[in-house]
A = this chain, B = another copy of it.
Amino acid sequence: MRVLVPYDARDPKTRLSPVFDAAERAALARRMLEDVLEVLERAGHDPTVLATAEVDALDVESVVDERPLSEAVNRQLERDGPLAVVMADLPLLTVETAERLFDREGDVVIAPGLGGGTNALVVRHPSFRVDYHGVSYRDHVAHATELGATVSTVYSFRLAVDVDDPDDLVEVLLHGENATTEWLRNAGASLEETETRTRLSRSTDSR
Contact B116 A174 (CB under 8 A): yes
A197 at the interface (CB under 8 A from B): yes
Residue of B nearest to A97 (CB): B155
Mark out the residues of chain A between 157 and 178 whose CB falls within 8 Å of any chain B CB in the assembled complex.
157-158, 160-161, 164-165, 167, 170-171, 174-175
- Which one of A4-12, A28-36, A132-140 is at the interface? A132-140
Residue of B nearest to A159 (CB): B157
Q: Which B residues touch A92, using CB under 8 A?
A: 155
Given A157-B155, A196-B15, A174 contacting B134 (CB threshold 8 A): no
Name the one of B135, B170, B175 contacting A174, with C-beta atoms under 8 angstroms: B135
Q: Number of contact residues on A: which range applies?
A: 20 to 34
Measured CA separation A155–B153 after assembly (Å): 16
Measured CA separation A127–B197 after assembly (Å): 28
Q: Which B residues touch A157, using CB under 8 A?
A: 112, 155-157, 160
Measured CA separation A112–B174 after assembly (Å): 10
A191 at the interface (CB under 8 A from B): yes
Mark out the residues of chain A between 166 and 202 whose CB falls within 8 Å of any chain B CB in the assembled complex.
167, 170-171, 174-175, 191, 193, 196-198
A115 at the interface (CB under 8 A from B): yes
A1 at the interface (CB under 8 A from B): no
Residues of A within 8 A of B (CB): 15, 92, 112, 114-116, 134-135, 137-138, 153, 155-158, 160-161, 164-165, 167, 170-171, 174-175, 191, 193, 196-198
